[in-house]
Amino acid sequence: MLQHRYPGVRPFEKNERALFFGREQDIQRVYELLLLEKIVILFGKSGYGKSSLLNAGLIPLLESDEKRSDGGYQPLLVRFKDYQSNTGQSPIQTVLQRLEESVPVQEDAAYLDPFFPNAAEAPRLWYAFKRRSTRQARQFVLIFDQFEEFFSYPAAQQTAFRQQLSELLFIQIPQALRNASDDLPDADFSHLVAPLDIKVLISIRGDRLQLLDTFKDSIPGILHKRYELSALSPQQAEAAIVQPAALAVESGPFVSPPFSFSAAALEALIAELAKSPQQTAKGVEAFQLQIVCAYIENRVKSGAIPAPPGQQQPVVEAEHLPDFAVIFERYYESRLAELPADRLRAAQLIIENGLLFAESATGDARRLSVDGAFLLQQFAAQGADADLLVLLERSYLVRREPNSLGGYNYEISHDTLIPPVRRAKFEREAEEERARLEQERVANLEKLQAEQRKRRRARRLAILMAVLAVVSLLALGFAAVQYQLARQRQQEAQDALSLFIQQKQEKEKLLVDEKIRKAEVFIGAGYPKAALEQLLDAEAIDSTNLEVQAKITDVRQLLDEK
């Protein structure tokens, strides 16, 4: 299967180690720090590539040392998922499941079982890892990615995890075994007293680092050994840009031929990425680099960037670079635009309503990891189905990971997409509200027009009745009695007409007052356009109303100011 040289917004995977350039020094420093320390904290801004560094850098490096004489490393990558959308597992259960999937139980550790006949009462993490430790030492490396999700769990589950993690790292033998251990055979006793060699790496967003203070009671030095993953330096960015493009097609195989960058294009590209409005720190953010490079690779693939005369490989020149003023803002909408038109609304609802949690009170927002079956059930009425989830995954707007139910969890592919997704959600909901108000306005206008037609029919009927009354009076002759009677009926008709006109004027005044009231409500709610429409309707009913004319002038001034 053909692959892209730049994975885009999703993190690099372990099998993409050959594409992961620019972070070699960071990988080595984290690795060396992990060799020296029991616990290492990897932190940095979202979008700097922490998950990619773990997947395509640190884990392959640890696994490459597996043939060491001391038994090597057993890296275990764990992610808890957001509590609101997980499958009901506690953090401890998640770690145990990952351990069970990766490391078999050792038969020569079966002597531990009689000590814990009730597994629920056992020190579960220590017991589970000890049952899987061999007579030959092996270092377990617990790697927790996106650890900020841990703090969405109930306080009791967080406390239990902190206590058991501390016991796993620092207690050689639980108290329940200390008194009975003297009766064990020598081989079993040697295995029991052999320290569990466990190391922990916690990867967390820099703006959530302070949350680890809650571990200080059980793991006092948790924040002592930290490694901050910074933005890419210009040299690192150059490696991440140039080296994947230069790989031979057979190395992938790739969707595009090998290509290169001119010196001017490379300099301009790095300079623009380093000064991007989204880039708040010095250097280049990996997420933005990947978006731009994926855009360039697609242009190479389509033939829009050709090989210069006399050369075999395409060369990216400065004029081939995207418009940096809009590329990041339009990335989300451009990905949506690639979807079939009849799937667009369902896709927006899944991403903007199903996979984004926004706190209205604080304005905080975060990605949610949600079971695919639940998403399909939630948005089935809007046309969501399994094929749409596949389309969204292929667009790299969402990513999926297996869950313990045999299905998949879905989430927005990267935190950097949260602002454009929130913005698109707000604009969509504002447009839907505008459409609702327009529909209400049209309905009210149709109602008004129906009432006006009814009044016109009544007026014509009244006039006709008056005419008939006059004709009837004239037909009675000029007799005084009959003439007087005719005059009396004529007066009654005129009175009826006057009453009708008076009632009409009163109803029109009520309509005008209602329009003014609605306009004031719309102004207060921040919808001056809707307010102007109400006032124009009022003017159409009563063009002489000075209050309406004054308010129209005020609203138009307000619109001009905006």
Dump pLDDT digits (tens) for 412-460.
887 768 888 888 888 888 898 999 999 999 999 999 999 999 999 999 9
Comparison of pLDDT for 198 and 361, the residue scoring more: 198
Distance CA 512, CA 507 (A): 9
- What pLDDT shows up at residue 348? 94
Comparison of pLDDT for 134 and 418, the residue scoring more: 418
Beta partners for residue 205, in sequence order: 44
- What pLDDT shows up at residue 195? 79
The mean predicted confidence, pLDDT, of the chain is 86
Select from 3.40.50.300, 3.30.70.260, 3.30.500.10, 3.50.50.60 the CATH code of 23-228.
Answer: 3.40.50.300
Q: How confident is the model at residue 199 (pLDDT cuts 50, 70, 90)?
A: very high
Distance CA 404, CA 440 (A): 48
Contacts of 305 (CB under 8 A, 6+ apart): 259, 296, 299, 314, 315, 316, 317, 320
CA-closest candidate to residue 231, choices 310, 165, 285: 285
Q: What is the DSSP letter of 122?
A: S
Mean pLDDT confidence for 500-529: 85
Question: Domain coordinates of the chain in residue numbers?
Answer: 23-228, 234-327, 342-413, 420-561
Comparison of pLDDT for 224 and 250, the residue scoring more: 224
Local structure of 398: helix, strand or coil: strand
Q: How confident is the model at residue 70 (pLDDT cuts 50, 70, 90)?
A: low
CA 477 to centroid of chain Cα atoms: 89
Contacts of 503 (CB under 8 A, 6+ apart): none
Element (H or E) spanning 361, and its range? none
Mean pLDDT confidence for 167-171: 88
Residue 377 CB neighbours (<10 A): 11
Q: How confident is the model at residue 279 (pLDDT cuts 50, 70, 90)?
A: very low
Q: Is the pLDDT of residue 139 over 60?
A: yes
Distance CA 61, CA 42 (A): 16
| CATH topology assigned to domain 342-413 | Arc Repressor Mutant, subunit A (1.10.10)
> pLDDT tens digits, residue range 523-553?
888 888 888 888 888 888 888 888 888 888 9
Q: Is the pLDDT of residue 39 over 90?
A: yes
Intra-chain end-to-end CA distance of the chain, in Å: 53
Q: Is the pLDDT of residue 135 over 60?
A: no
- What pLDDT shows up at residue 391? 92
Q: Is the pLDDT of residue 79 over 70?
A: yes
- What pLDDT shows up at residue 86? 54
Contact between 490 and 472 (Cβ < 8 Å): no
Contact between 282 and 227 (Cβ < 8 Å): no
Range with the lowest mean pLDDT among 168-172, 272-276, 380-384?
272-276
Q: Is the pLDDT of residue 478 over 80?
A: no
- What pLDDT shows up at residue 13? 93
State the amino acid at position 405 in one-letter form.
L
Contacts of 75 (CB under 8 A, 6+ apart): 58, 59, 62, 63, 141, 143
Distance CA 525, CA 163 (A): 51
Q: How many alpha carbons lie under 13 Å from residue 292 in its C-beta half-sphere?
A: 31
- What pLDDT shows up at residue 301? 95
What crossing angle do the helices spanning 286-302 and 327-337 adopt, rounded to 10°? 60
Q: How confident is the model at residue 503 (pLDDT cuts 50, 70, 90)?
A: confident
> pLDDT tens digits, residue range 334-359?
889 889 999 999 999 999 999 998 77
Distance CA 6, CA 289 (A): 9
Element (H or E) spanning 272, and its range? helix 263-274
Mean pLDDT confidence for 245-265: 92
Q: Is the pLDDT of residue 244 over 70?
A: yes
Distance CA 520, CA 552 (A): 11
State the amino acid at position 350 in one-letter form.
I
Range with the lowest mean pLDDT among 148-152, 228-232, 398-402?
398-402
Could you tell me the CA-to-CA distances from 457 to 170, 448, 452, 541 in Å, in that order? Answer: 93, 14, 9, 17
